Structure 1
Amino acid sequence: MAKYVIGVDGGTESLRAGVFDAQGRPLAFASSPYPTSYPHPSWAEQSPEDWWTALGAAVRAAVAQAGVSPGDVAAMSVDTTCCTVVALDAEGRPLRPALLWMDMRSARQAAQVAACGAPELRVNGGGGGPVSAEWMVPKALWLKQEEPNTYIAAHWICEYQDYLNYHLTGAMVASVDNVAIRWHGSDGPPLELLRRLGMEELSGKWPQEVLQLGARIGGGLTARAAAHLGLPEGLPVAQGGADAFIGVIGLGVIAPGDMAMLTGSSHLHIGMTDRPLSGKGMFGSYRGAVLPGVHVVEGGQTSTGSAVNWLRRGLMGGAVDYADLNAEAEAVPPGCEGLVCLDHFQGNRTPHTDPLSRGALVGLTLKHTRGHVFRGLVEAVAFGTEAVLEAMRGAGYSPTSLTIAGGATKSELWMQVHADVSNLPLHLTEVPDAPALGCAILAAVAAGLHPDIPTAVKAMVRVSRTITPDPQRHAVYRRLYQERYSKLYPALRPLFHAGHDHAPTPNGAPAVEEGASGQWAAAAAEAGEAARQGRQGEEGGGLPRAIVSPSILAADFACLGDEVERVLAAGADWIHVDMFDGGAIAGGNFTIGPPVVAALRKRAPGAFLDCHLAVQDPAKYVEAVAAAGASSFTFQIEPFLDAHTAQPDAAKRCAAAAAGAAELAAAIRARGMRAAVAVAPATGVEVVMPLADAGAVDMVLFMTVNCGFGGQSFQAQVLDKVAAARRAHPSLTIQVDGGINATTAALAAAAGANAVVAGTAVFLAPEGAAAAIGAIRGALLEHLPRATAAAHAHATLAAVEGAGPAAVL
C-alpha cells in the first residue's frame, strides 16, 4: 500500500513541495522559484504557466531527494497564496497574467465594495471594514470596469489554487477556505453583495463546485499532469486552500476552542469556534473555512517581534544578544516595578484598528534597567494578545489553548508570560513547516491513510511540549492588565490623533474614521489611477511629474524589505532613504548607511532610491552610496555655508557655498546618480538658487521640519521659498519633506512642489497605503498645474521685460 504523501505550498516567490510519511514526518523538501512582474506601480502579476512549471520541478525534486518510488506516493494536496486571481477561457488557458494577492490596483473598487453595505460584509469587523484591494471581489470588479473584454471573455474567474487543481485533475472546483475567508461566501455565494455591485454574472464565472478541505478532486491526476509531475496517473489530489489557514491545520488547530498564534514581527491569531460570531475588533467568523460546522475568527497585532527588535537594535545598537536580555528580564518581577508599555509601535490592527496609535513606555524611573524595558515590551505584547482575546470573548469566543509558532518560541520568558497573561496553555509542535504539513494531512485523508482530518491531525501533528500558566502570576497580570495596560490606549489616543481626526481631506470632507472606507478613499484611488495611467505632464514639458516618495523612517525596520515592496506595490514613485551619521546637522541622530541601500536595491531592483544624506561631509559617501545602487543623492547645503562662516559678506559666502556644492553635484552625477540639494527650514532660498540657475542640480528639497527629529509640526512659512523657486524654474523638480499628508501635500503643490516625502501618511495610513498615496498624488495633481502655469507666466513676463532669473525671486 502506498504510504507517502506530498504537500505543496505555492507561495509568493516560489513553490515548495514536501514528502511526508503517514505519521507526518518530513522526508524531503524542494522548491522552484517563479518571477513577479510589476507593469505599473501598485500592480503585481505572475504567469500561471510559471506556476505549472514550478510545480513539476519541485515535486520531481522532492520525490527524488526523499528516495521513494513514485508508486509509493498515495496522494498530494496544494495550498497557495489567497486572492491571487486568474481569468481563464473554457479550456483553462489564462487570458491575461494573474493578479497577485499583493496587487493593489483595485483600491477604488475595494472602496465601492465597502460602501455598498451588503450583509455579507459583516465578517469585516462586524460590517465596519476595512475591505482590502487584495480580495477576490474588488479584483474581479476591476476586471469588469477596466478590462471589460477580458471579463466578458472569461469563462472562469478563480484563484491560483483553482488553476493548479484544474490542470492537475481536469476539474474546476473552488476551496471552501478561500470562498469563506476572502470571497465573502461563508453562507454560499455572496449574491446580495454582487447584486449591489451590479455584477451578478460573476457568480456564474466562479467555479460552480466548492469542495471541503481534504476532499478528492475529480478522478485524480490526468495523464498530462502525471507525466509532468512524474507520478502515477489517477493519483488522488486533495482540496487545499489558503496557505496560512492550511498552516493552522499543520499546527493541529482544528477543534472549537483551539487557537493558533503565529508570531514574528507581528502576531496573527486564528481561532476555531462552533457557532457564527462577528463584532468590532475582530475579523470573521468564516463558516466552514477549515472544517464543516467549525467557524474561524481572526485577529492580529502589528508590531510584536519588531518592537523587541527595535529595543535591541535601535536603542542598543545590537550590542547585546537576546539571551542576555532574557536573563536580565527574568530577574525582574511581573509588572516591571511600575513600568507599563503600549505595544502599538506600528499602530494597531485589532481590536482597535488604529494605524495612528503608537508605542509608549509609561512609569519609567531611574531604577529601571534595560531588563525592565525588555520585559515590559514582552508583557505589553502579551497584554495586546489578551486585548484581542477579550474582544473575541466579547463576541462569544473563548479559546481554551494557544498553539504557538514562530519567533516568540525562541524565548522561554516570552512564552511563559503569554501563558500567564492569557491563563491558557501554550503548545509547540514538532514540524515548523506547518503549511506543507497541513497539505500532507489533507492528502493523507484523500488517500484513505486516515479516515478524516481530526484523525489525521492526531496521527501526524505532535505537540513537542506545553507551557502551562502559573495561577499566581496570572492574578498579578490580570490586575495589571485591567488597571494599567487597558487604560493606556484610551488615555493616549487623543495625543496620537491630534491633528488627524478632523483634518480636512482634499475635497473638503472630514477625514476617514477608524476602519472606514468610502467616497474619499475611492476618489483618492481614482486620482492615483489617473497618475499611473499617465494623465499628467512630464518633466521638461511644462508640468513637472507628480512624485510621492515614502520615507522608510516610518517603516517597520524589522521587515524593511517587505515594507518597501508594499508601498511600491501601492503606487509609490520613489523610496526616500534618510541617512544621518550622528553629526550635528541631524541633531546627533544616526540612522542607516550604504549597506541598507544595497539591501533595498537587491530587494527592489527597479525602485528609484531617493537618498537624502543629512551629514556634515557628504562627499565622503558618494562612492559608497553610488556602489550601493542609489538613484539620487541629496545633500544639505548647510555644511557648505558652515565652511565659509569667516566670510563676512553674505553674498560672497553664498557664492562660495554654491561653488563647493556644484563641485559635489558634478561628482554625484559622474557616478550615475541624480544630484539634489536640500535646504533646512532656517536657510534662505537664495543660497541654492545659483545651483538651480546653472543647472548644477536635478532637484531642490525644501525641509519643513528640522532633520533628525520626529513629531515636528509642518512649517508652512517654508512654502514661500518653494513658491520662489518654482517662479524661477517652472520645470524644476522641487521636493518638500516633513509633515506631509493629503492636506499639507495640497499646500505644498499650491506653492509649486511636485514631489513630496511622506512617511507615516503612507506606511500607517488608516485607509491603506494605496489610497493614501492616491490621495497625496491627487492633491499634487489638483494644485500643481495652477502653480506651474503661474510660474511659466511669471518667467515669460520676466524674460519679456529683460529681467534675469534672480529678478523673479
Structure 2
Amino acid sequence: MSYLLGLDIGTSGIKGILITDKGKVISNKTRSYPLSTPKSGWAEQNPKDWWVATQEVIKKIITESKVDTSQIKGISLSGQMHSSVFLDEQLQVIRPAILWSDTRTSKQCQEIYERVGGLDNLINYVSNPALEGFTAPKVLWLKENEPQNYNKIRHLLLPKDYIRYQLTGEIYTEVSDGAGMLFLNVQKKKWSEKLLDKLGIDKEILPPVVDSTEIVGEITAEVAQKTGLAVGTPVVAGGADNACGAVGSGIVKEGRVMVSIGTSGVVLAQIDNSVADDQGRIHLFNHAKRDSWYMMGVMLSAGRCFSWMKEELFADELDYDHLNELAAKVKPGSEGLTFLPYLYGERTPYADPNARGVYFGVSGKHQQGHFIRSVMEGVTFGLKDSLELIKEKGVEITEIRVIGGGAKSKLWQQILADIFANEISLLNVEEGPAFGAALIAGVGVGVYDSFEEAANSIIKVKEVISPNLESVELYDKQYKLYKQLYVSLKDEFKALSQIIEN
C-alpha cells in the first residue's frame, strides 16, 4: 500500500492528511496556533509556531495510523497565500510574519502604482493589482517602517515554503504561491525584474521558482527523528491554498469552476490561456497544474457573514440547523430584503476597504427568517459577481463544484443554483487544500501520471442541484438591484470611514 501526506499551513492552524493512493483518508489531524493583532488592522504570526505545530501533527498521524513510513511515497504542502516570512543570513526569522489578512499597507499599495506608472503597467508586469494583503506592499512597509529589520533580509519566503525549508533544508517557492506575491510574471513564471527595479527590491532575496509538482528536497535525519517520517522521503513543492483546494476539488480542466463558501468566499476557474483582466477586478495566478492558470475572485466575508449574524444578531442562541429552518420558511428574494456582505470591506470586484455591510429594504413585515435568508442570498450575489467576471473573460463554464461550510446547507445549495442560474455539483471528497497537497505529492513522485488521472479516479460528483426557473427569474431582477446598491453607496462608504477614523 502506498501513502501520500498533505500539509496545509493555514491561518488558524495546520491540517495534515494521510491518504492512500486510491484517495482513502487514513488519518486527519489539526493543530491550532495563535494569531497576534498588535495594532488595529495588523495580523501577525510567529513562523516557529507553525513549525512546532507541523511536527506535532505529523507525529500524531504517524503514531496513530501505524503505517509503514517507508510506504509514504511523497509529501507536499499547501499554505496561506501572500503572508511574508523574513529570514536573515543565518536563516533565522527576523520578525513575526505579516499575514495575508493584514491591512497596514494601503499607503504602500498607492506607492506601487506611482512607481510603476499606474494599474496598466502593473497588470502588464504581474497580471494583478496591488492589494493590502499581497506580499510586495508588505516588503515596502518593512523597508519604510522597520529599516533595521529590512536590512537583515536575505530570504523572503511564504508560509508553506518556510515549513518545507524546515523539513528539507532547501529554499524554494513554486509558481502558484509565488504568483500571489505581486513579484511574479505569471505568463513567464519568472520574477519581474522590471517591477523589482522600480520598487528598489533586491531580486536576490526571492527564492528560486519551480513548478508545483517538482521534487525539491527530502526529509532530513533530524526531522525524521522528531516526526517519525522516513529519512529521504521525497518532498514535492506544493501549492497555494486556493490552488491546492482546486486540485482537491478536481478543478484541473478548463470549464470547471470551484465555488468555496468558507470564512471568505472564493470563485476559481482553471484556464489554459493566461489572459489578465485589464482592470484588475479578478486575479490571475499560476495553477498547480503545469502550464496552466486560474482566474479567481475573492469575497472577504462569505461564511463569516453567516457566523456574524448567528453570534451577534441572534446572540449565538440558535444553532445552524435552526437558522436554516427559519430561512427555509421565507420565499426566495426575502420579500425584497437585500444584504450587502461587505462586513470587512471587499476584494472582488471592487477592492474597496471602506465598503460595509448593509440590510436594504427593511420593513415591518420582515421577521427573523428574512434576515437569515437575505444573508445567504447576499453572499451568493457577491459570489455571482466573480462568476460573471470569469464569463466576461470568455471562459465557457461547463460545471460548478461547490465546497465549504455553506455547501452543507440544503437551502444554501438551492439558493446557489437559483442565483447562478446553473446546476451545481457536490463532491464525495471535501478535505480542502491538504487533500489537494497530497494529490500534488502523488503527481510529483509518479504515483499518478497526471492531475486528470488523480481527479477522475478519486473525486466524484455525488449530487447535482438544479435551479428553479421561477426563482432564477426573481433573483436575476434582485441581482441587478444588488449591484446598483454598491455603486450608489460607494462615496457614502468612504465618508463613513472618514467619520469613524476622526
- TM-score normalised by the chain length of structure 1: 0.55
Q: Which amino acid aligns with 1:283?
A: I
- The reply on whether 1:397 has 2:395 as its aligned counterpart is yes
**Equivalent of 1:462 in 440, 443, 460:** 460
SS of 2:395's equivalent in the other structure is coil
1:309 Cα offset (Å): 5.5
Pairing of 1:690-769 with structure 2 (within 5 A):
742=498, 758=500
Relative distance call for 1:431 and 1:148 in structure 2 (3 A) is same
Give 2:196's aligned residue: 194
Partner residue, 2:268: 270
Q: Does 1:490 align with 2:490?
A: no
Match for 2:440 among 439, 442, 465?
Answer: 442
- The offset of 1:167, in angstroms, is 3.3
Cα distance in 2, alignment partners of residues 101 and 394 from structure 1: 27
Specify the alignment match of 1:339 in structure 2: 336
Distance 1:277 1:216 in 2: 29
Distance across 1 between alignment mates of 2:328 and 2:97: 50
For 2:191, what is the secondary structure of its paired residue?
coil
- The aligned counterpart of 1:384 is 382
Unaligned runs of 5+ in 1: 504-738, 745-757, 762-775, 777-809
> Counterparts of 1:611-622 in structure 2 under 5 Å?
none
Question: More relative contact order in 1 or in 2 (CA 8 Å, sep 6+)?
Answer: 2
Q: Which runs of 5+ in 2 are unaligned?
A: none
In structure 2, the CA distance between the partners of 1:394 and 1:407, relative to structure 1 (3 Å rule), is same
- Contact 2:15/2:29, CA 8 A, preserved across alignment: yes
The CA distance in 2 between the partners of 1:147 and 1:308, in whole Å, is: 38
Q: Which moved more, 1:150-159 or 1:42-51?
A: 42-51
Aligned with residue 424 of structure 2, among 423, 426, 434: 426
**2 CA distance for matches of 1:307 and 1:150?**
37
Would you say the 8 A contact 2:47–2:93 is kept in 1? yes
Matched residue pairs, number?
494
How does 1:524-603 map onto structure 2 within 5 Å?
A: none
1:64 Cα deviation after fit: 0.9
How far apart are 1:74 and its partner, in Å? 1.3
For the pair 1:289 / 2:283, whether they are aligned, the reply is no
Q: State the Cα distance separating 1:426 from its structure 2 match.
A: 1.8
3-state DSSP of counterpart to 1:240: strand
**Alpha carbons of structure 1 residues 411 and 190: separation in structure 2 relative to 1, 3 Å:** same
Aligned to 2:137: 138
* 2:250 alignment partner in structure 1: 252
Moved more, 411-420 or 483-492: 483-492
Q: Does the CA contact (< 8 Å) of 1:111 and 1:131 recur in 2? A: no
Alignment RMSD, CA only?
Answer: 3.5
Give a deviation string over 1:366-420, Cα, whole Å, max 9, x none. Answer: 5x66555554544444333333322332232343222212222232122122113
Q: Residue type of the partner of 1:190? A: S
Give the superposition deviation at 1:18. Answer: 2.1
CA contact (8 A) 2:213 2:288 kept: no
Output the CA distance in 1 between the equivalents of 2:307 and 2:53: 35
Task: Please report how far the alpha carbon of residue 179 of structure 1 lies from its aligned counterpart in structure 2 after TM superposition.
Answer: 1.1
Aligned mates of 2:24, 2:440 — CA distance in 1: 14
The TM-score, its normalising length taken from structure 2, stands at 0.85
> As a proportion of its length, which structure holds more strand?
2
Amino acid paired to 1:193? L
Q: Does 1:75 pair with 2:77?
A: no
Cα shift at 1:272: 1.6
Look up the match of 2:206.
206
Deviation string, structure 1 residues 579-607 (Cα, Å, up to 9, x no partner): xxxxxxxxxxxxxxxxxxxxxxxxxxxxx
TM-fit CA distance, 1:76: 0.9
How far did 1:217 drift? 0.9
**For the residues of structure 1 that align with 2:95 and 2:419, how far apart are their CA atoms?**
50
Q: Which secondary structure state, in structure 2, belongs to the residue aligned with residue 469 of structure 1?
A: coil
CA distance in 1, matches of 2:43, 2:139: 15
| Map of 1:63 onto structure 2 | 62
* Residue 417 (structure 1) aligns with: 415
How big is each residue's C-alpha offset from its partner over 1:695-719, in whole Å with a ceiling of 9 and x where there is no partner? xxxxxxxxxxxxxxxxxxxxxxxxx
Partner of 2:14: 15
Matching residue of 1:690? none
Q: Deviations 1:520-552 (Å, cap 9, x if unpaired)?
A: xxxxxxxxxxxxxxxxxxxxxxxxxxxxxxxxx
Distance 1:191 1:333, change over 3 A: same
The answer to whether the 8 Å contact 2:125/2:195 transfers is: no
Following TM superposition, by how much is the alpha carbon of 1:327 offset from its aligned partner in structure 2, in angstroms? 5.1
Determine the C-alpha separation between the residues in 1 that align with 2:410 and 2:51.
Answer: 42
Q: 1:418 to 1:99 in 2, by over 3 A?
A: closer
Q: 1:205 to 1:481 in 2, by over 3 A?
A: same
Verify the 8 A CA contact 1:124 1:131 in the aligned structure 2: no
8 Å Cα contact 1:261-1:270 kept in structure 2:
yes
* C-alpha distance in structure 1 between counterparts of 2:116 and 2:465, whole Å: 44
Q: Secondary structure at the match of 1:256?
A: coil
Residue of structure 2 equivalent to 1:601 = none
Q: Distance in 2 between matches of 1:84 and 1:352?
A: 22
Cα distance in 2 for partners of 1:106, 1:302 equals 17
CA change 1:331–1:364 in 2 (3 A) is same
Instruction: Return the letter of the residue paired with 1:446.
Output: G
Deviation at 1:184, TM superposition (A): 3.7
Mark the CA change 1:126 to 1:222 in structure 2 (over 3 Å): closer, same or farther.
closer
CA contact (8 A) 2:173 2:210 kept: yes
CA 1:365–1:278 in 2, change beyond 3 Å: closer, same or farther? same
Separation in 2 of the partners of 1:361 and 1:345? 13
Quote the Cα distance in structure 1 between the aligned partners of 2:141 and 2:317. 49
Check 1:425–1:293 CA distance in 2 against 1; reply closer, same or farther (3 A cut). farther
Name the amino acid aligned to 1:298.
Answer: M
